[in-house]
Amino acid sequence: MADLEFLEHRITARLPKLGDATTTIEAPMTVRIDPLTGRSARLMTDVKQPPIPRPDLSDLTADPPFCPFCASTIERATGLIDPAITDEGRIRRGSAVVVPNVVPYSEFPTVALYDTQRHFVDLPDLTPTLVSDLLEALVAYTRGVHGIRPMWHSINANYLPPSGSSVVHPHAQSSHDDVGTTAQRDLVTRSQAWPSGSYWDRLVAAEEGGERWIGRIGRVSFFTPWSPVGFDEVWGVVQGCPDLIDLTDDDCRDLATGMSAVFGSYHAQDLASFNWALTGGGPAPSDRYSVLLKMVSRSTPIPMYRSDATYFERLHGEAVIDQTPEQVAATVRAHFPGAA
Ligand SMILES: [Zn+2]
């Protein structure tokens, strides 16, 4: 019977020394294999991208003449949600609001604002309450869509242009349809095929207390993945929760508390842009799958920035990362609730 294995290949390249081309040095790198998907990632910890100081974002994030998501505009600039999903029109929880998206990323696409009162909310201000309200509002929407028929559900976010966001006003989006995404289908299919019980329970048990462990809040376990797909990647596994419709208000609060801590750690490192995704278990979820949160940082928003997605990431499906998940976990852990 197969069990979870953290496989890695250690490779040594023999290269000319930088600045001394006649000298040959040995340059180590590691290729790590994800235990579930088989996806590999390249860790080059001896070669670091130079850190970029946090830029002045005041021009980018200044109040614009028109924003459809600011409080003064949202009632006339956005539509109402289909009554088949909710009779609330726009779903509001605390400062958060969910409205229909105008771009068809899925059959039922939404936009959700953390806060309509502020056009820009910086990373340290994405508090547990703000994030929790947003998640609760999107889970309410998801339950409404699910009442139409079971589907693939995900809740996702871009933040600032390097993440793919075309709108500065901080927001999340949810997708709901009969197809799901490549990564979501793959995770669920492989979870179902895992030969011995829940892969996710097994993974959490293997990670708990280890070098990649960050902490547990409620039934959400936070750690860094063995084989990351992005920089500063953090995962949250909601054990015993097969789909987004099963997220309780407590789960939303616990996810949000962890996410807010990760945002704080990103800000402390001068990182400004990120993506996150919460994926459900599909139209026929089972206890073999647990809702998974993935968070990554993105390139710093400076003019002519270097993208963190190269041919490796876009065409090979393989991340090249300049720090280990163990180093990422140590950094994030210091920002977590209860950290010394
Ligand atoms: Zn705005």
Give the bridge partners for 25, in sequence order.
15
Distance CA 114, CA 138 (A): 11
Distance CA 260, CA 130 (A): 9
User: Looking at residue 314, what is its pLDDT?
Assistant: 96
- Compute the distance from residue 99 Cα to the ligand 1 centre, in Å: 14
- Compute the distance from residue 167 Cα to the ligand 1 centre, in Å: 8
Instruction: List the strands of the sheet with 96-100, edge to edge.
Output: 91-93, 96-100, 110-113, 171-177, 152-159, 273-279, 291-298, 231-238, 220-223, 213-217
- Compute the distance from residue 146 Cα to the ligand 1 centre, in Å: 29
- Compute the distance from residue 265 Cα to the ligand 1 centre, in Å: 25
Helix axis angle, 182-193 relative to 199-207, nearest 10°?
Answer: 90
Q: Decide if 265 contacts 215 (C-beta within 8 A).
A: no
Per the listing, tokens 């933040």 go with: 159
What pLDDT tens digit does each residue of the chain (340 aa) get? 458 999 999 999 999 998 999 999 999 999 999 999 999 999 998 878 788 999 999 999 999 999 999 999 999 999 999 999 999 999 999 999 999 999 999 999 999 999 999 999 999 999 999 999 999 999 999 999 999 999 999 999 999 999 999 999 999 999 999 999 999 999 999 999 999 899 999 999 999 999 999 999 999 999 999 999 999 999 999 999 999 999 999 999 999 999 999 999 999 999 999 999 999 999 998 999 999 999 999 999 999 899 999 999 999 999 999 999 999 999 999 999 987 5
User: Looking at residue 1, what is its pLDDT?
Assistant: 41
Q: Decide if 296 contacts 230 (C-beta within 8 A).
A: yes
What is the model's pTM? Answer: 0.96
**Angle of CA points 310, 312, 23, to nearest 5°:** 90
Cα distances (Å, whole numbers) of residue 277 to 212, 234, 237: 20, 11, 12
- Dihedral sign, CA of 261, 263, 264, 268? positive
Per the listing, tokens 């616990």 go with: 254
- Compute the distance from residue 140 Cα to the ligand 1 centre, in Å: 23
User: Looking at residue 340, what is its pLDDT?
Assistant: 59
- Compute the distance from residue 180 Cα to the ligand 1 centre, in Å: 29
Give the bridge partners for 223, in sequence order.
213, 235
Of the candidates 204, 285, 203, which has an alpha carbon nearest to the alpha carbon of residue 243?
285
Cα distances (Å, whole numbers) of residue 62 to 122, 130, 168: 12, 20, 9
Q: Which residues of 272-308 are buried (b: 16+ CB within 10 A; e: fewer)?
A: bbbbbbbbbbbbebeebbbbbbbbbbbbbbeeeeeeb
- Compute the distance from residue 275 Cα to the ligand 1 centre, in Å: 19
Distance CA 340, CA 336 (A): 9
Helix axis angle, 249-268 relative to 325-333, nearest 10°?
Answer: 100
Task: Report which DSSP code applies to 65.
Answer: S
- Compute the distance from residue 226 Cα to the ligand 1 centre, in Å: 37
Distance CA 248, CA 30 (A): 39
Three-state SS for 96?
A: strand
- Compute the distance from residue 266 Cα to the ligand 1 centre, in Å: 23
Distance CA 195, CA 1 (A): 7
In degrees and rounded to multiples of 5, residue 71 shows phi and psi of -55, -35
- Compute the distance from residue 63 Cα to the ligand 1 centre, in Å: 7
Going along the chain from its start, the domains and CATH numbers come out as 58-333 (3.30.428.10)
DSSP notation for 123-163: GGG--HHHHHHHHHHHHHHHHHHHHH---EEEEEEEESGGG
Distance CA 241, CA 154 (A): 14
Burial of 311 (0-12, 13-18, 19+ CB in 10 A): exposed
